Amino acid sequence: MKKISVLLATALLSIGLIGCSGGKNAESTQGKAGTQESKKEIVVGATPVPHAEILKEAGKVLEKEGYKLKIVEFTDYQIPNTALAEKELDANFFQHIPFLNKTIAEKNYELDYTAKVHIEPMGLYSKSTKDVKELKDGAEIAIPNDPTNGARALRVLENAGLIKVKEGELVTKIDITENKKNLKITELDAAQLPRVLDDVDAAVINANYAIEAELNPTKDAIVIEAIDSPYANVLAVRKEDKEKENIKALTKALTSPEVKKFIEEEYKGNVVPAF
């Protein structure tokens, strides 16, 4: 009886050890699988139009490579770079190169970009006139209030012959050297510009917000930015992540023939591929 009791106890102990060992291995395997799964999901911040739309198309290409794309939409230009720097996002896609460079310089973020994806021509829109020459003396023109897009808008007005501005990349309205029509330049949040068209004589609007408001830059703008504009929109990432496989896969998908075809067919020249 004593022998049987010892054997039974030994057997039970062995089963217990196997059970504990199995549980530990299962937990370890699950943890690795969870980690692997998280690597396969790429989280990208973007403004809704056209960036999120273009990303959705890129997501179809990524699926073939085993990746899942999660798009987080923003309507603010300031938050996405902070979210990227703080590792809440794997990448963001909403901005042009001068805007990214200014943010890096101001906030000392360790960010960079992997690819130029498209150009969105900025335009001057008006509900009261169809010809820029008809803008009255003292007309009020709204422009974006962030430094890079504000400077870009002033160049649009300069190229239209409405004003002259000092040389430099980040010019502001105080850098206007000639304003024969005494235009009143009002700086507003970029997302608000389509909504104030009833209240101002004209507004210089970024293409993404124009398209979102059902304004066609090539048809509705009374002045449009030159197609060779240096303001290419890019895929921004943390410097430390540039060579990671998921970022390489995302970059490849965003500059794929499928995405290029989508941009050309969907936006018909209002958004132009930069690759």
Is the bond preceding 147 in cis, omega lying within 30 degrees of 0?
no
Terminal C-alpha separation, the chain: 83
| This prediction's pTM | 0.70
User: What is the number of other CB atoms lying within 10 angstroms of the CB of residue 163?
Assistant: 21
Q: What is the pLDDT of residues 56-86, one digit of tens each?
A: 999 999 999 999 999 999 998 999 999 999 9
- Which residue intervals of the chain bear CATH 3.40.190.10? 38-120+231-273, 123-224
CA distance 156 to 203: 11
CA distance 93 to 249: 15
CA distance to 46, 50, 128, 263, per residue, from 73 (Å): 5, 11, 33, 19
Superfamily of domain 38-120+231-273: Periplasmic binding protein-like II (3.40.190.10)
Q: Which residues of the chain have pLDDT under 50?
A: 1-38
Looking at the chain, how many residues does it have? Answer: 275
Q: What is the pLDDT of residues 160-176, one digit of tens each?
A: 999 999 998 889 999 99
What is the predicted pLDDT for the residue at 269?
Answer: 83
What is the predicted pLDDT for the residue at 24?
Answer: 32
What is the predicted pLDDT for the residue at 39?
Answer: 57
Write out the CATH class of domain 123-224. alpha beta
Residue 184 DSSP SS3: strand
